[in-house]
Structure 1
């Protein structure tokens, strides 16, 4: 019964804001067009707001879960027109706080002790209230100031109910709308479901915060508050309370004497460090989650909070993304097109020449403008929109990355309008690529893979033996096979030879490493000749090993 009432409520709001205009009638089957033409929403007056504002207002009226969905949908610029995405980007959580007594009860139930025993002080009036949780100020028995984040009571039931309805509507769109399959509304709802359920787990958010804190331990770029694990459960998170200036309060930052250029450039460096060094990035870096430590105005430091959404990139995505960006910097559109095909972002049957021409058409007008006037985030958006014409499927990891980059770039230009993100990013990417493909990267790869090579070597004869036995059983079910015995002997000799090659290769590469200890990795030309010789010998031995295994 509750679900039916909720469905009627959604239908009422849908009609009130005349969201029927979003339905592509021409793409629907005739019987649905007739049904929708007789629908009751035609009796409602046409609202005066734009379509984006009408969608935003409807989501706000439907409550916190739809608001959160609208916020996430606003990041899907690959699916929505710009005007609608911009309207949804203004969504704010207009959720009244729940009583402090309920928050206290959740804390006591989760931690198993009274609030008076757990904390020296606890403020029952919330500091902030959002869709999923609200935050209270407290003091630990040690005197440490903390914030206590508490999940909204009953929110999981509401989420599951609303997601069930969203899935039903998305399924209808995907089935009856000609563009439905390409835009994949079911995938959008599933992404949202995963995100919202991740945000319901405070232990997951705490783990994200701990990882980021470890990645930036002692850094002058950004500070991540400490998590107090003894007080953190699935419904409750206790974190160090930070003191800083909200990053959106530019007047306060200027009054504190903060060097805005340095602050903006640090934001860019933080983003690329998270993406390419750590492959683990804070994916919700909007102004409400970022503060500034202005204790040293000439060297300010960011402070981040709210770690419910993080992104990661696989090593191959990291590499393809960096090579794509560097190719853009050099206007090598052919390589950009080829990289998209090689990475699988566009189908293998894509005509590279046509794709290259389309990319050039998008990029050349942009590059004719001064670099400081070019939006890096919107540039990627245009690229993804172009690639969509060539059947590029939605890449969730890249969409999240683009959303984060848009936040970072918008924040940077708000702080320092002359920010040149391109010139800030290019040296970092070039240094990262040199490190990845140079000797340090080779040593790192060797260090990672050598143990598994050595571990598998003793098992190779048995694996070969088992495989040959299976072949013998298929082809000659009875009787000994001299060829099989010969093959086993050859396999054993090959194993011993490969083991010797591996040991020699490690010795050579180790020698190369010793000869290059004083090398400046920014300039590969300074590597001594003997280092290259030893490195080449090690590589040749490993190559010989791999060939002998084929």
Structure 2
């Protein structure tokens, strides 16, 4: 019943703010435009369309606000008036009352707010779909930011997700693409990410992990968590001071190098994805600032770590090989990788898939970012994947979303950025570290503690076995001879495996150098 009521509310909101009129007015067919005029009779739609869309998304709740935030980063796909209004969703969602925020903080810490903070600013500095942020000062004088979870979020999100789950099941039953697109798995991934956002301790842990990962890079600042003041509903962190990345004129006046900033953004993204397999997956402009402090001038400041993406070693290796093959225009290798990974049926003709991928990607090489739309590229690749029955991988949905966000930021900072040439050296270096000598030595070092623990125990284990069999020498002799043969075969296998691995590493290293040349 609650789901039905929620569905009725969604339909009412769509009609109330005239979103149906916005959707239908984009069609060229005369009969569709006539229908748009008919359904708007009797409704007052005197506000601009961008304002109506933003207000409707705010009214519908956090899932719809998230959708608006993603759209707002793609100014190349939206009319300027709609893009400007949706940008307000990044950190200017209407806040909940300050008194309620104060009460939530006191309930979380179990004491009056004056016993925790020397100062607590009642007016929030940012208000988003899941939480809002207040500046404060601790009793020891440290300046901090206090993030407070919006009340009542769980019930609203659960209702919307229940509708999405039902819709996914329906799509899987009635759509010919339902099984391939895996809508239920995609919604389940989205479900997990949203519920993770409702636990602010998890967000604090994500921030701590990213902070450790990024320490040696010196390109991005991540706030330190005040762990004794972190609860599921309220977290306190180091206050960061910077200029929001979408305030371009302020950054230009401060003397920030936009071209370096764009290159650094690409480096940060590929480092998080391919080196760490742990990346910030909510990189809309409301969560990104730039430091203008003398000691850290020009570095990124990352905020809001409720949504992070993770990749397995297999995912990282597969994606890196795909990217490198794309950069080298080796479309046959891209097609082979799709077959090898099981993402397309084994009966797929590699040459046909190669030709289709070439037709999508070739027009975009050697062109600056301002002339490329990854959104269009992904759409054409999606159409190609449908033709060849490519199975959608739910674990990569967040990565695709983040890549689109990165493109949107890069387009704002440096439209002349060559995304391909900027990313290619990083990926080649990463592959070198994975399959070359450095990768072999690193893996050997990782396995060494395990073998160092086992080897000293071997004499004791052999001695115990001899004692247990001492009363019957004939079976013991047979067992020792059999064990000797097994050991000899094992040693031979290990030697051959190591030799084969080393030979493969050498050949791969030579192959990489040959390709670079």
Q: TM-score band, normalised by the shorter chain?
A: 0.7 to 0.9
Give the match for residue 471 of structure 1: none
Pick one of 474, 477, 490 that aligns with 2:482: 490
1:307: how far off? Answer: 0.6
Q: Structure 1, residues 8-63: CA drift from partner, whole Å, max 9, x if none?
A: 3234345565869999xxxxxxxxxxxxxxxxx998448999xx989956952652
Map 1:350-429 → 2, pairs under 5 A: 350-367=348-365, 369=367, 373-375=371-373, 378-429=376-427
Q: Structure 1, residues 411-436: CA drift from partner, whole Å, max 9, x if none?
A: 12311221111111111111111121
Q: Is the 8 A contact 2:57 2:68 kept in 1?
A: no
Q: CA distance change for structure 1 residues 331 and 165 in 2, over 3 Å: closer, same or farther?
A: closer
Give the match for residue 282 of structure 1: 280
**Residue aligned with 2:217, SS:** coil
1: CA distance, partners of 2:394 / 2:52: 23
Q: Is the 8 A contact 1:244 1:291 kept in 2?
A: yes
Q: CA distance change for structure 1 residues 218 and 452 in 2, over 3 Å: closer, same or farther?
A: closer
**Residue aligned with 1:137, SS:** strand
1: CA distance, partners of 2:5 / 2:134: 33
Q: Is the 8 A contact 2:262 2:413 kept in 1?
A: yes
Gaps of 5+ in 1: 24-40, 463-481, 511-520, 526-550
2: CA distance, partners of 1:5 / 1:370: 48
**Residue aligned with 1:131, SS:** coil
Give the match for residue 293 of structure 1: 291
Q: Is the 8 A contact 2:369 2:415 kept in 1?
A: no
Pick one of 100, 107, 110 that aligns with 2:108: 110
Query: Is 1:64 matched up with 2:56?
Result: no
Q: Structure 1, residues 221-271: CA drift from partner, whole Å, max 9, x if none?
A: 111111111000111111111111111111111111112211111111111
Give the match for residue 465 of structure 1: none
Give the match for residue 6 of structure 1: 6
Q: CA distance change for structure 1 residues 105 and 334 in 2, over 3 Å: closer, same or farther?
A: same
Q: CA distance change for structure 1 residues 343 and 456 in 2, over 3 Å: closer, same or farther?
A: farther
Give the match for residue 248 of structure 2: 250
Q: Is the 8 A contact 1:19 1:55 kept in 2?
A: no
* Count of residue correspondences: 469
Give the match for residue 514 of structure 1: none
**Residue aligned with 2:300, SS:** strand
1:409: how far off? Answer: 2.4
Q: CA distance change for structure 1 residues 95 and 262 in 2, over 3 Å: closer, same or farther?
A: closer
1: CA distance, partners of 2:185 / 2:288: 30
Map 1:177-188 → 2, pairs under 5 A: 177-188=175-186
**Residue aligned with 1:139, SS:** strand
Higher relative contact order (CA 8 A, sep 6+): 2
Query: Is 1:308 matched up with 2:306?
Result: yes
Q: CA distance change for structure 1 residues 448 and 59 in 2, over 3 Å: closer, same or farther?
A: farther
Give the match for residue 135 of structure 1: 133
Give the match for residue 331 of structure 1: 329
TM-score by length of structure 1 reads 0.73
Q: CA distance change for structure 1 residues 248 and 230 in 2, over 3 Å: closer, same or farther?
A: same
Q: Over aligned residue pairs, what C-alpha RMSD do you find?
A: 4.3
**Residue aligned with 1:257, SS:** coil
Q: CA distance change for structure 1 residues 104 and 299 in 2, over 3 Å: closer, same or farther?
A: closer
Give the match for residue 229 of structure 1: 227
